[in-house]
Amino acid sequence: MAGSAGVGVQRVAAPGRGARARASLATFFPTVRAGFAGVRRRWRQSLRLRVVATTMLLGLVVVTVLGSVLHAQIAGGLERSRMQSSQYEALALTAQAQKQWDASTSTSVAELNRAANDIMTKFLSAPGPDPSRYVVMDRSPANDTDVTLVQLASSRAVDIDVVTEELREAVAATPGRQQTQVTEVRIGTREVPSVIVGSVVQAGDAGPYDLYFIFPMEQEVATMDLIGNAFLVAGVILTLLVGAVAWVVTRQVVTPVRRAGEVAQRLSAGRLNERMPARGEDDLALLATSFNNMADSLQSQIRQLEGLSAVQQRFVSDVSHELRTPLTTIRMAVDVIHDSRQAFEPSVSRSAELLAGELDRFEDLLADLLEISRFDAGAAALDLEPVDLCGTVAKVVEAARPLADRRGSVVRVHAAGGPAEAEVDERRVERILRNLVVNAVEHGEGRPVDVHVASGSDAVAVVVEDHGVGLRPGEAANVFTRFWRADPARARTTGGTGLGLSISLEDARLHNGWLQAWGEPGEGSRFRLTLPRHAGASLHASPLPLSPADES
């Protein structure tokens, strides 16, 4: 009997609500962040948007404050008017009630109750400015009789509880005067602002009783609601109109300014014939005219400078090439004299050595001038190949070792580990590093020179650091200027043309790279070369910090 093979079945649970909610949130928040980023970018870029939004916001604030003040004044006026009319009406009704009590001959409790009910009924049905009033009678605290009237509250849904203790105490303290209070009164299921007027009447043999008239301000509340809605609609319309006016005014101002910015961008791109249209005689027309005059002046000066630069470049190129032939002849003669210097007198032999050294410096200067002329003419080109900068650094350090030994400096290489490969022109990169290392040894005052090599995902970097005299404030921006020297009085002992760092900067730019300098007096200086790993790529960051403070 053949054995049966068991088959395992795995059930995959469908995503539940929690997973769907998390997925929704995962897509919702990035969308919201992208929306806010777009709004912020639009806010930063659009002057018109900022002006219109600010004007509408300020207009809304002004409308809100003005509407609130007017609303409060109207509400106060309606409240005062309502209190005056209520006081007059309550005074007349109280006098009428007192007159009826004075004319009443009731002596028993039943008769007094009937008289009180008659008076209350007349109050509720009596014509007047406000037939919606409520009436409440209650035994006065000063009443010392044994007669207690019952069923004194009005037939409406209001009783003595609506009268505050404060008002009752005021009425009891001054029985001969009316007391008025504005408070919220619950009528049915609503809280309605009401005017309560209280006074004291003599209810015959029943003694003094407090009489309260309650006048709801429902009509006033409705009026204020209508006014509030009207203010709201008017405020919104006015804010929109202010925004529209601001948009129109801003458009008239921003459009010429934006046109000036576009013309300026085209001018900066080299289109020197661009001009702004100038119409009218207002301030914007004056701006356009002044801008065009400035553009004319700049165009004239730029063309003049271009002509002078072309003449200068042509002169340097011609002189450099013309010096090649006599320099070759001089080199041949100097070599013959230098080789025969042993047969000369000591002073002549020393002169032959100095002549050979100065001729070497002259040839270096001529070579640098030719290289600079190629950069100026745009004829410099790269011979790209994959190169490990660790090997290039090792060759440069080995070549600079004799100079370092004479200076008493030790050149130390710090590699982060692994190759630092990039697509570069090794000859040019080696020239950059050689200039940096030689300068570090010359200015290091016999202290160690550190060379750091590191690579990142998109870039490779080399930092050459010395611990010598350093750079004074502002000199880091000048070290790459042609023929610039930090100390003009310092004598050159190893040659140099003053063009090495300028050529190095041009070589770095030719690779789309960075060559940057940092230094502090007495702390040394650092030069950082950053190159993209792939030819033609752009740099966004460097694998190595420029200053020591950035290392922490």
Q: Enumerate residues 6+ apart whose C-beta is below 8 A from 158.
A: 134, 136, 185, 187, 214
pLDDT digits (tens, 9 = 90+) for 34-84: 777 777 777 776 777 888 888 888 888 998 899 899 989 998 999 899 899
Reported as a pLDDT band with limits 50, 70 and 90, residue 255 is confident
Read off the pLDDT of residues 515-546 as tens digits, 9 standing for 90 and up: 999 988 888 899 999 999 988 888 888 899 98
CA distance 210 to 165: 13
User: Alpha carbon of 246 to those of 231, 259, 261: distances in Å?
Assistant: 22, 19, 21
Q: Provide the pLDDT for residue 8.
A: 36
Q: The pTM is what? A: 0.47
Buried-exposed string 179-194: b where 16+ CB fall within 10 A, e elsewhere: bbbbeebebeeeeebb
**Residue among 269, 170, 158 nearest 216 (CA):** 158
DSSP-derived letter for residue 4 is: P
Phi, psi of 61 (to 5 degrees): -65, -45
pLDDT (tens digit per residue) in 207-217: 788 888 888 88
Q: What is the pLDDT of residues 90-101, one digit of tens each?
A: 888 888 888 888
6: confidence class by pLDDT, cuts 50, 70, 90:
very low
pLDDT, residue 495, reads 45
Indicate if the pLDDT at residue 328 is higher than 60: yes
pLDDT of 538: 86
Position 133 scores a pLDDT of 78
Instruction: With beta carbons less than 8 A apart as the criterion, state whether 159 and 153 touch.
Output: yes
pLDDT digits (tens, 9 = 90+) for 294-311: 878 877 887 787 777 677
Grouping H, G, I as helix, E, B as strand and the rest as coil, residue 6 is coil
**3-class SS at 416?**
coil
236, 239, 244, 246 alpha-carbon torsion, rounded to 10°: -170
- State the pairing for strand pair 421-424/208-216: unpaired
Q: Are 435 and 504 in contact (CB under 8 A)?
A: yes
Half-sphere exposure of 186 (CA within 13 A, CB side): 7
Neighbour-count burial of 500, counting CB atoms closer than 10 A to its CB (0-12 exposed, 13-18 middle, 19+ buried): buried
Give me the chain's average pLDDT, please. Answer: 79
**Taking a C-beta distance cutoff of 8 angstroms, is the pair 136, 158 a contact?**
yes
Instruction: Report the distance separating Cα 463 and Cα 395, nearest Å.
Output: 16
Other CB atoms within a 10 A radius of the CB of residue 60 amount to 16
pLDDT over threshold 80, residue 447: yes
Strands 449-455 and 411-415 turn out to be parallel
Is the pLDDT score of 357 beyond 50?
yes
Put the strands of the sheet holding 459-466 in their side by side order.
Answer: 411-415, 449-455, 459-466, 524-532, 514-520
Distance in angstroms (rounded) separating the CA atoms of residues 468 and 459: 28
Residue 155 has pLDDT above 50, yes or no: no
In the chain, the amino acid numbered 546 is L
Q: Give the 3-state secondary structure of 46-109.
A: CHHHHHHHHHHHHHHHHHHHHHHHHHHHHHHHHHHHHHHHHHHHHHHHHHHHHHHHHHCCCCCH
DSSP 508: H
What is the pLDDT confidence band of residue 496, given thresholds at 50, 70 and 90? low
